Chain A
Amino acid sequence: MSQIHTLTMPKWGLSMTEGRVDVWLKEEGQAIAKGDEVLDVETDKISSSVEAPFSGVLRRQIARQDETLAVGALLGIVVDGEASEAEIDAVIEQFQAAFVPGEGAEEDSGPKPQKVELDGRLIRYFERGEGGVPLVLVHGFGGDLNNWMFNHEALAAERRVIALDLPGHGESTKQLERADLDELSGVLLALLDHLDVPVAHLAGHSMGGAVVLNTTRLAPHRVRSLSLIGSAGLGAEINGDYLQGFVDAASRNALKPQLVQLFSDPELVNRQMLEDMLKYKRLEGVDTVLRQLVSGLFKEGRQQLDLRGVVQDGRQPVLLIWGSDDAIIPATHSVGLTAQIEILPGQAHMVQMEAAEQVNRLILDFVQQH
Chain B
Amino acid sequence: MARKISYQQAINEALAQEMRRDPSVFIMGEDVAGGAGAPGENDAWGGVLGVTKGLYHQFPGRVLDTPLSELGYVGAAVGAATCGVRPVCELMFVDFAGCCLDQILNQAAKFRYMFGGKASTPLVIRTMVGAGLRAAAQHSQMLTSLWTHIPGLKVVCPSSPYDAKGLLIQAIRDNDPVIFCEHKLLYSMQGEVPEELYTIPFGEANFLRDGKDVTLVSYGRMVNTAMDAARSLAGRGIDCEVIDLRTTSPLDEDSILESVEKTGRLVVIDEANPRCSMATDISALVAQKAFASLKAPIEMVTAPHTPVPFSDALEDLYIPDAAKIENAVLKLIEWSKRS
Contacts and interface: CB of A to CB of B under 8 A. Distances in A.
A touching B, CB within 8 angstroms: yes
A258 B76 CA distance: 47
Interface stretch (A51-59, A131-139, A183-191, A281-289): A281-289
Given A107-B1, A279-B162, A271 B194 contact: no
B204 A251 contact: yes
Contact of B196 (A112, A270, A283): A283
B207 interface: yes
Contacts of A14: 1
A250 interface: yes
A182 interface: no
Interface in A228-287: 250-253, 270-271, 275, 279, 282-285
Interface string B198-237: 1111001011011000000000000000000000001000
A270 B211 CA distance: 11
B201 A250 contact: yes
Given A171-B2, A279-B162, A284 B207 contact: no
A174 interface: yes
Interface residues of A, number: 19
A282 B1 contact: no
Interface in A50-89: 68
A252 B201 CA distance: 12
A114 interface: no
A15 interface: yes
Contacts of A171: 2, 194
B318 to A, nearest CB: 32
A270 B197 contact: no
Contact of B198 (A15, A250, A270, A279): A279
Interface in A109-164: 112
B87 interface: no
A332 B33 CA distance: 64
Given A15-B1, A250-B201, A275 B206 contact: yes
Contacts of B201: 250-251
B198 A284 contact: yes
Nearest to A122: B195
Contact of A284 (B2, B196, B200, B234): B196
Contacts of A271: 207, 209-210
Nearest to A113: B1
Contacts of A282: 166, 198-200
Given A174-B196, A279-B194, A270 B206 contact: no
Contacts of A283: 194, 196-198
Contacts of B206: 275
Interface in B1-57: 1-2
Interface string A8-45: 00000011000000000000000000000000000000
B194, B198, B210, B254: residue with the most chain A Cβ atoms closer than 10 Å = B198
Contacts of B1: 14-15, 107, 112
Interface in B225-280: 234, 254
Contacts of B209: 271
A270 B209 CA distance: 10
Contacts of A252: 204, 207
A280 B246 CA distance: 18
A145 to B, nearest CB: 12
Contacts of B200: 282
B80 to A, nearest CB: 26
Interface string B171-205: 00000000000000000000010101111110010
Nearest to B192: A15
Contacts of B197: 283-284
A32 to B, nearest CB: 30
Contacts of B254: 253
Nearest to B166: A282
B1, B162, B199, B210: residue with the most chain A Cβ atoms closer than 10 Å = B1
A14, A15, A68, A282: residue with the most chain B Cβ atoms closer than 10 Å = A282
Contacts of B162: 279
A275 B243 CA distance: 13
A289 B201 CA distance: 20
Nearest to B2: A171
A346 to B, nearest CB: 26
A153 to B, nearest CB: 16
Nearest to B235: A68
Contacts of B192: 15
Nearest to A174: B196
Nearest to A171: B2
Nearest to A285: B196
A253 B198 CA distance: 19
Interface string A284-308: 1100000000000000000000000
Contacts of A15: 1, 192
Contacts of A275: 206-207
Interface in B123-170: 162, 166
B236 to A, nearest CB: 12
B187 to A, nearest CB: 22
A112 B198 CA distance: 24
Contacts of B234: 68
Nearest to B195: A171
B233 to A, nearest CB: 13
A174 B166 CA distance: 17
A279 B162 CA distance: 9
B4 to A, nearest CB: 8
Considering the complex of A and B, which 5 residue pairs feature the smallest CB-CB distances, nearest first? Answer: A284-B197, A282-B198, A283-B198, A271-B210, A283-B196
10 contacts: A14-B1, A171-B194, A251-B201, A271-B210, A275-B207, A279-B162, A279-B198, A282-B198, A282-B199, A283-B198
Given A14-B1, A15-B192, A68-B234, 14 more contacts: A112-B1, A174-B196, A251-B201, A251-B204, A252-B204, A253-B254, A270-B210, A271-B210, A279-B162, A279-B198, A282-B166, A282-B200, A283-B197, A284-B197
